[in-house]
Amino acid sequence: MRLRDDAPRVYLVMQSTYGFCFTLIVTVNLIYQAATVGLTAFQLVLVGSVLELVCVLCEVPTGALADLVGRRPAIVAGIALIGAGFTLEGLVPELGAILAGNVLFGVGATLTSGAEQAWLTDEVGETTAAGLFLAGARLENGATLAAIPVAVLLAQRTITTPIVLGGLGLVALAVLLAGVMPETWRPVGEGKGLADGMRAQVTESLAVVRATGLVRRLTIVAVVAGAFSEGVDRLSTAHFLRDVGTPAAGGFEPVVWLGGLFAIQAALSIVVLGRLSGRIERRGASGAPSALAWVYVVMSVSTALFAVSRRFGVAAVCSLTGGSARQLEGPLILIGLNPNLRSETRATVISMVSQANAAGQIAGGLAIGVVASAASIEWALLLAAAILCAAPFILLRRHR
């Protein structure tokens, strides 16, 4: 297979490799933070809030930079920084190192956010890109499914091993992309001063968000979804470990049980994404807002049930249901956004939506963290589920 300068293949290789390496890390990362490093519930949320603060500060500038200078260098640098951040976190089991690693992760994530989707769309066209977004998500979930048992096995030796190997793998992926990724699209910043170009880029992109109804609605919903996701991401593992518990049968460590759930979720997500592909092919991008609204309904209800569960089987089913639905969120947002964006501002506008999500994560995450510390993780998760209830109403009412 010839990879160099073949944008669809490069994208699919990038998604699958990133999914494998990232899954090596996240399968054990929160267990590492909660059990090995011993972070409290508030510290767990604090780590996430620092990450999202970095994202809020850097998201739009890096998106504008990708439009002005080029999406390819932004993607390569971003993946390299993400890998470096996780490598640092795994090598130094202290709160300070975890915070520093998440700063690197945040800068790297904002460099790739918007740039990756804009790069593919402008290389292959909107219609082809929609199919590749879904195909890439399925491949990423397949890579996730393959990586989970590897992460669990590596963690039996030491829980930091998959984190460090995953981080180094991402750095290697960045080196590969630097050699094979094409970019035929010409940056809009050629011949402009960087500061003036970024200022004009942001102003023009803000005008697109204000003037385009669906883009504006998706930006508002991103704030709500962000407020929900930060608490759930940071506290779900702690809820399993501290409130629900894992079965004693078989004598397996918690990482094995939770890794198994992660694997089942990845398999379910492949099936669900396949069904979504057929739906999008029949209805086109116009069906994305309604589908996204129902995704949020499922996520909210399943999170509320997960919060009050004290039996592992019930909690596992709720976690799998909400997690599988959540895999649809990103592709549906992109499919809804893309037809309403122009090439010149595509990466910046997508970054603005991501910035709205990060701002929601900061505000919601801190509030949910306070509730977790003052009351319980159960009440914090219930608050997250209640916050998300607003999203489907915004989408369905405005969509009609």
Least confident interval from 110-119, 281-290, 310-319? 281-290
pLDDT digits (tens, 9 = 90+) for 297-346: 999 999 999 999 888 889 999 999 988 888 888 888 888 887 777 777 78
pLDDT in tens, 377-391: 889 999 999 999 999
- Average pLDDT for residues 164-171, to the nearest whole number? 96
**3-state DSSP call for residue 257?**
helix
- Is residue 168 situated within a structural domain? yes
Look up the domain containing 131 and give its range: 7-179+199-399
142 part of a folded domain: yes
Q: Which of 12-26, 264-278, 345-359 has the highest mean pLDDT?
A: 12-26
| Percent of the chain clearing pLDDT 90 (strictly above) | 27
- Residue 398: pLDDT over 60: no
Q: How far apart are CA 286 and CA 64, in angstroms?
A: 27
How many independent structural domains does the chain possess? 1
141 vs 75: CA distance, rounded Å: 20
Residue 2 lies in a domain: no
Instruction: List pLDDT tens digits, range 127-156.
Output: 788 788 888 888 888 898 889 889 888 988
Q: In the structure, what pLDDT confidence band is assigned to residue 271 with cuts at 50, 70 and 90?
A: confident
Measured CA distances, 207 to 120, 200, 246, 353 (Å)? 23, 11, 50, 13
| Structure token pair of residue 63 | 């998106």
Tell me phi and psi for residue 190, to 5 degrees.
-60, 125
Assign residue 59 the CATH number of its domain: 1.20.1250.20
Select, from the ranges 40-44, 72-76, 216-220, the one with the highest average predicted confidence (pLDDT): 72-76
Report how far residue 333's alpha carbon sits from residue 50's, in angstroms, rounded to the nearest whole number. Answer: 25
Instruction: For residue 295, tell me if it sits in a domain.
Output: yes
pLDDT digits (tens, 9 = 90+) for 205-238: 788 777 777 888 888 899 999 889 877 887 887 8
Does residue 187 lie in a domain region?
no
Cβ atoms of 383 and 367 within 8 Å: the answer is: yes
Domain membership of residue 191 (yes or no) is no
Q: How confident is the model at residue 272 (pLDDT cuts 50, 70, 90)?
A: confident
> Does residue 58 form part of some domain?
yes
- Could you tell me the pLDDT band of residue 185, with boundaries at 50, 70 and 90? confident
pLDDT at 243 over 80: yes
- Asked if the structure places residue 216 within a domain, the reply is yes
pLDDT, position 192 = 58
**Tokens 């300070």, located at residue:** 96
